[in-house]
Amino acid sequence: MKIAILDDYQDAVRKLNCFEMLADHEVKIFNNTVRGLGQLASRLAEVEALVLIRERTHITSQLLGKLPHLRMISQTGRVSTHIDLDACTERGIAVLEGAGSPIAPAELTWALIMAAQRRIPQYVANLKQGAWQQSGLKTSAMPPNFGLGQVLRGQTLGIWGYGKIGRLVAGYGKAFGMNVLVWGREHSLEAARADGHATAESREAFFEQADVLSLHLRLHDDTRGIVKLDDLLRMKPTSLLVNTSRAELLEENALVSALARNRPGMVAIDVYESEPILQGYSLLRMENVICTPHIGYVERESYELYFGAAFKNILAFDAGDLSSVANPEALNQGRVRR
């Protein structure tokens, strides 16, 4: 079988233990991302099985129309809106859903919170330039001694979205002596209360009270642009906003506009509207913004889990096991390519 793996930026996949599962197949790994439809179609023209690394490449109806040999798409982790599922079904292409874990993204979220609140990236960068104990965060627009940073104990940790990741982050906050405050849909609020956490009286109060506010929502039509500029402007000038979920949760241009008004005071993000981001990306130039290159799930154990499941699903589907297929309508209509 001809298999392609896209967007392996660090050339890590071939070094995973689980890669041995594909030893009997012809596998091509692409380390760089291409955006052009023609370039991508050329890469995948002969491919029968395509492995996607999360949402790094979008699979559109136009692209699928140029891939006559494609039988299956194996997703690392959950299937999301980056795949045109209806178009796959219409063309008889099976989409295989993989496994994931909340641990790595939750730990990265906490690492960003710790790093931002103690100004670690800023201190490190300035130390490399010969400046001792200088965070650089001391403009006249910032609160007094903002550059010193502060401890987490006694601070309010706001969590919007109490799913698997949000629940873990809330637990970390509690362990560090923070006051956890949850906002979200009613079922999330009920789950948070059952775990002993406080819930916000209103959306406005949630943004006003949080010292650290972390977003843990899935992206879909109802959550796209759900965080508005007015929400951000309610945050304290000393507060921190963390987003390791999806950039599109924020209203377009809202974050840059809010930062221009010094609310929130700090931002730590791991996700962007278009990836990879370019060197001139506006938030990269801001001293009070920490940017990481979408590494929430990028670590060895997660890679073994994600890719192991993706490879297993390919082999199982090829052997007639359809249990991982996310678009069963294609199966019911007898249109899946075999």
Is the pLDDT reported for residue 333 higher than 70?
Answer: no
Considering the candidates 275, 299, 304, 329, report the single residue annotated as catalytic. 275
Residues 77 and 223 in one domain: no
Q: What percent of the chain has pLDDT over 70?
A: 98
Rounded average pLDDT over 13-34: 97
Is the pLDDT reported for residue 338 higher than 70?
Answer: no
pTM for the whole thing?
0.93
- Render pLDDT for 79-122 as a digit per residue (tens, 0 to 9): 988 999 999 999 999 999 999 899 999 999 999 999 999 999 99
Residues 278 and 327 in one domain: no
246 is catalytic: yes
Residues 130 and 206 in one domain: yes
Which pLDDT does position 267 carry in this prediction? 98
- Count the Cβ atoms, other than its own, within 10 Å of residue 53: 23
Counted residue by residue, the chain has a size of: 338
Residues 160 and 227 in one domain: yes
Residue 338 in any domain: the answer is no
**Average per-residue pLDDT for the chain:** 95
- Count the Cβ atoms, other than its own, within 10 Å of residue 337: 14
Residue 10 in any domain: the answer is yes
Residues 79 and 133 in one domain: no
Rounded average pLDDT over 56-83: 95
Rounded average pLDDT over 62-86: 95
Which pLDDT does position 263 carry in this prediction? 96
Residue 337 in any domain: the answer is no
Residue 30 in any domain: the answer is yes
How many domains does the structure of the chain reveal?
A: 2
Residues 176 and 57 in one domain: no
Rounded average pLDDT over 235-252: 98
Its domain, for residue 185, covers 103-291
pLDDT band at 279 (very low <50, low <70, confident <90, very high): confident
Is the pLDDT reported for residue 66 higher than 70?
Answer: yes
Residue 261 in any domain: the answer is yes
Q: Is the dihedral of CA 146, 149, 152, 157 positive or negative?
A: positive
Considering the candidates 246, 248, 263, 287, report the single residue annotated as catalytic. 246
Which pLDDT does position 330 carry in this prediction? 80
Spatial CB neighbours of 268, under 8 Å, sequence gap ≥ 6: 112, 113, 115, 116, 240, 241, 242, 243, 289, 290, 292
pLDDT band at 37 (very low <50, low <70, confident <90, very high): very high
Is the pLDDT reported for residue 286 higher than 60?
Answer: yes
Q: Is 125 exposed, middle or buried (0-12, 13-18, 19+ CB in 10 A)?
A: middle
Considering the candidates 54, 119, 216, 294, report the single residue annotated as catalytic. 294
Q: What number of H helices and E strands is found in the chain?
A: 12, 12
CATH value at residue 309: 3.40.50.720
Residues 314 and 269 in one domain: no
Which pLDDT does position 139 carry in this prediction? 81
Which pLDDT does position 334 carry in this prediction? 56
- Render pLDDT for 189-229 as a digit per residue (tens, 0 to 9): 999 999 999 999 999 999 999 999 999 999 999 999 999 99
294 is catalytic: yes
Residues 119 and 225 in one domain: yes
